[in-house]
């Protein structure tokens, strides 16, 4: 087992004080899968107070994270470890919060409150892996299975529905039949789960290797969270550019996109306005005129509802309304777009366009994909050579022009005129050349 020495040290000092202590949950799962694990959670039979005394005795600093839930965070040489007293959850009244938690003395009770068999294992050096629900076997067979009765578990905490989907996507696992059926039966309970908790799991789902399969197979579950997606599900695209319906195209494009949350979320929503704009011409070909704007409008509502950060919101909203535009390959064009957007959004736009193309008819997209490569290498050149694409990069500023006698609006107009000529390679971006141009032409 690949549990860090620091975690083993903490387990050891708790055990030496006469209690039981285990690494639990995600780290045991990841270690058995030989995956790197982000953090080691520790479960102990000691009460939070007793744990604090043990940590103090060994000069380990800590802070109280969630005393009500029995959690203390120990800080060992800068690394944090959550240490939680074995507990069971009390009654769930609202499909999300246990009314109360009860501390227990037995690891078995603690493991049985956990969501899936692969997450319900514990490990310490004394007892090895404690696996009461067949977690190891499910790991081998790549299966997500609820601990206990799936319906009951999803009714207790509906977020587990999203968690099942996210683990299946992250690990490329299959959701066991009974668990899967219970997911569909209970999906509407997700309405009572907070946007923050949903978005946290949705984010991990979108970044998983298995995202295509999960988005396709569990679209009806996703539609509880984002009902605006529903019309895309059976929306055919009869035209030469597409080989998939809107939803399959969307899922394929998310999968084709780099694993970056802002990008993948943008991709998930980029065509959401297509069904509302669909028309069929006399030859039976489908068109989606104006879908970028409609997609953007719906996305704005969805992203606000999901309470995403401003950073994510602004990124998606910069790209979705223009995801379908043609960006020419000449540098002038690229600089104009760079000026309108910024480098991050422009790179995002190109990444979105690439993923979009990769999810279309492959017989039609080779030339456009090549153009995107050309655009990217020009972009790299523009950035590395510090070539101007906004007035900020010009070798003169407003003050220089005021000194030459320009005032008010004429200053901004002159800067823009200079930029246009610099971008068009008609004027060198040097102080002298720019000032000369202003003197000769703009005064
Ligand atoms: P990751 O590596 O993504 O953090 P993880 O398994 O550690 O995966 P966490 O959300 O950090 O996932 O949760 C830690 C552990 O707590 C899980 O492995 C699981 O045993 C338990 N757990 C977390 N959330 C729930 C829940 N909603 N219901 C039941 N058990 C849960
Ligand atoms: Mg974790």
> pTM here?
0.92
User: What is the number of other CB atoms lying within 10 angstroms of the CB of residue 77?
Assistant: 6
How far is the centre of ligand 1, averaged over its atoms, from the C-alpha of 120 (Å)?
Answer: 9
- Classify residue 69 by its DSSP letter: G
- Determine the 3-state secondary structure of 123 from DSSP: strand
Answer yes or no: is the C-beta of 162 below 6 A from any ligand 1 atom.
no
- Classify residue 232 by its DSSP letter: G
- Classify residue 229 by its DSSP letter: G
| Mutation probe of ligand 1 site: the residue of 69, 94, 114 with most atoms within 8 A of C-beta | 114
Residue nearest (by alpha carbon) to ligand 1 atom 15: 25
Spell out the per-residue pLDDT of the chain, length 443, in tens: 888 999 999 999 999 999 999 999 999 999 999 988 888 999 999 999 999 999 999 999 999 987 778 899 999 999 999 999 999 886 666 666 666 778 888 999 999 999 999 999 999 999 999 999 999 999 999 999 999 999 999 999 999 999 999 999 999 999 999 999 999 999 999 999 999 999 999 999 999 999 999 999 999 999 999 999 999 998 988 888 888 999 999 999 999 999 999 999 999 999 999 898 888 999 998 888 999 999 999 999 999 999 999 999 999 999 999 999 999 999 999 999 999 999 999 999 999 999 999 998 888 889 999 999 999 999 999 999 889 899 999 999 999 999 999 999 999 999 999 999 999 889 999 999 999 999 999 88
DSSP string, 290-322: THHHHHHHHHHHHHHHTT--HHHHHHHHHHGGG
**Ligand with smallest separation from the Cα of 171:** 1
How far is the centre of ligand 1, averaged over its atoms, from the C-alpha of 223 (Å)?
Answer: 24
Rg (CA), the chain: 28
Answer yes or no: is the C-beta of 82 below 6 A from any ligand 1 atom.
no
Residue recorded with tokens 């907070």 = 194
Output the CA torsion sign for 311, 316, 319, 321: negative
Output the CA torsion sign for 416, 329, 294, 190: negative
The dihedral formed by the CA atoms of 54, 56, 58 and 59, expressed in degrees to the nearest 10 = 160
Q: Which residues contact 199 (CB under 8 A, 6 or more apart)?
A: 306, 307, 308
């Amino acid at each position: 087992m690949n549990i860090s020495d620091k975690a083993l040290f903490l387990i050891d000092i708790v055990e030496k004080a006469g209690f039981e202590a285990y690494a639990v949950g995600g780290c045991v799962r990841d270690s058995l899968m030989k995956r790197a694990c982000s953090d080691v959670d520790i479960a102990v039979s000691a009460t939070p107070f007793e744990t604090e005394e043990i940590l103090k005795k060994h000069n380990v600093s800590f802070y109280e994270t969630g005393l009500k839930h029995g959690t203390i965070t120990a800080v060992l040489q800068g690394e944090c470890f959550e240490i939680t007293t074995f507990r069971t959850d009390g009654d769930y009244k609202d499909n999300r919060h246990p009314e109360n938690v009860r501390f227990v003395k037995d690891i078995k009770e603690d493991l049985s409150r956990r969501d899936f068999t692969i997450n319900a294992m514990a490990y310490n050096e004394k007892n090895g892996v404690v696996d009461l629900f067949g977690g190891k076997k499910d790991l081998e067979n790549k299966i997500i299975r609820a601990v206990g009765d799936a319906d009951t578990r999803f009714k207790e905490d509906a977020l587990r529905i999203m968690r099942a989907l996210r683990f299946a996507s992250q690990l490329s696992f299959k959701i066991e039949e009974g668990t899967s059926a219970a997911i569909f039966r209970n999906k509407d309970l997700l309405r009572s789960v907070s946007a923050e908790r949903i978005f946290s799991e949705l984010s991990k789902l979108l970044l998983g290797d298995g995202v295509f399969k999960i988005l396709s197979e569990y679209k009806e579950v996703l539609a509880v969270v984002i009902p605006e997606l529903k019309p895309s599900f059976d929306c055919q695209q009869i035209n030469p550019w597409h080989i998939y319906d809107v939803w399959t195209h969307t899922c394929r494009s998310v999968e084709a996109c780099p694993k970056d949350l802002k990008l993948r979320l943008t991709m998930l929503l980029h065509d959401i306005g297509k069904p509302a704009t669909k028309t069929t011409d006399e030859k039976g070909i489908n068109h989606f005129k104006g879908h970028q704007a409609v997609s953007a409008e719906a996305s704005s509502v969805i992203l606000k509802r999901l309470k995403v950060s401003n950073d994510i919101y602004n990124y998606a909203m910069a790209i979705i309304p223009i995801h379908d535009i043609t960006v020419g390959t000449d540098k002038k064009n690229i600089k104009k777009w760079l000026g309108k957007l910024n480098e991050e959004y422009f790179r995002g736009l190109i990444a979105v366009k690439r993923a979009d193309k990769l999810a279309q008819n492959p017989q039609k997209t080779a030339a456009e994909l090549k153009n995107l490569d050309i655009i990217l290498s020009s972009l790299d050149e523009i950035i590395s050579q510090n070539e101007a694409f906004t007035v900020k990069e010009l070798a003169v500023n407003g003050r220089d022009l005021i000194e030459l006698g320009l005032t008010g609006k004429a200053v901004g107009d002159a800067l823009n005129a200079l930029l246009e000529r610099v971008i068009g390679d008609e004027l060198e971006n040097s102080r002298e050349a720019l000032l000369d141009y202003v003197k000769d032409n703009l005064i």
